[in-house]
């Protein structure tokens, strides 16, 4: 299980109005950190097809995922292409978006779609992808730091 401490620290800082954009602060508002910790731990332990049944924990995981999507814009340096691809895939699945197969000549979208198909084939569902997205943001914070 990955350590969520740095993510929670950033969340609490955003909730207290520190250093982050208004958009990040808005995404942080109202997230119960204890529920998020429990939901993340449960989802991460279950893996790709995680199912967090408790409505409060499920809502906390979704809110944490939405916060992570905003927080990633506060990294000191941009993620690499592989990291961006993984973020894209888990963001789409985490939001329940079905990605359409791109045209034959759109190589970038074909690459993204191929990775999306692999994640779906691996069994990722919305909550599994939400936890995977948060995990990747935690790793990016550790590697790149936050502004």
5-144 — its CATH code? 1.20.80.10
100-126 CB burial, b ≥16 within 10 A, e <16:
eeeeeeeeeeeebbebbeebbeeebbb
C-alpha 119/C-alpha 123 separation (Å) is 7
Q: What does DSSP assign to residue 75?
A: B
> Domain segments of the chain: what residues?
5-144
pLDDT at residue 1, rounded to an integer: 57
- pTM attached to this predicted model: 0.95
- 76: Cβ–Cβ under 8 A, 6 or more apart, which residues? 144, 145, 146, 147
**85-102 pLDDT tens trace:** 999 999 999 999 999 999
């Amino acid at each position: 299980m990955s350590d969520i401490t740095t993510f929670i620290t950033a969340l609490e800082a955003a909730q207290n109005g520190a250093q982050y954009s208004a958009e990040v602060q808005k995404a942080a508002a109202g997230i119960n950190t204890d529920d998020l910790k429990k939901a993340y731990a449960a989802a991460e332990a279950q893996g790709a097809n995680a199912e967090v049944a408790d409505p409060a924990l499920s809502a906390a995981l979704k809110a944490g995922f939405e916060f992570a999507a905003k927080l990633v814009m506060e990294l000191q340096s941009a993620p690499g292409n592989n990291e961006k691809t993984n973020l894209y895939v888990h963001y789409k699945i985490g939001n329940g978006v079905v990605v359409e197969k791109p045209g034959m000549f759109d190589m970038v979208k074909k690459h993204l779609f191929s990775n999306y198909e692999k994640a779906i084939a691996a069994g990722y569902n919305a909550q599994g992808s939400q936890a995977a997205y948060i995990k990747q943001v935690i790793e990016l914070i550790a590697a790149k730091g936050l502004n």
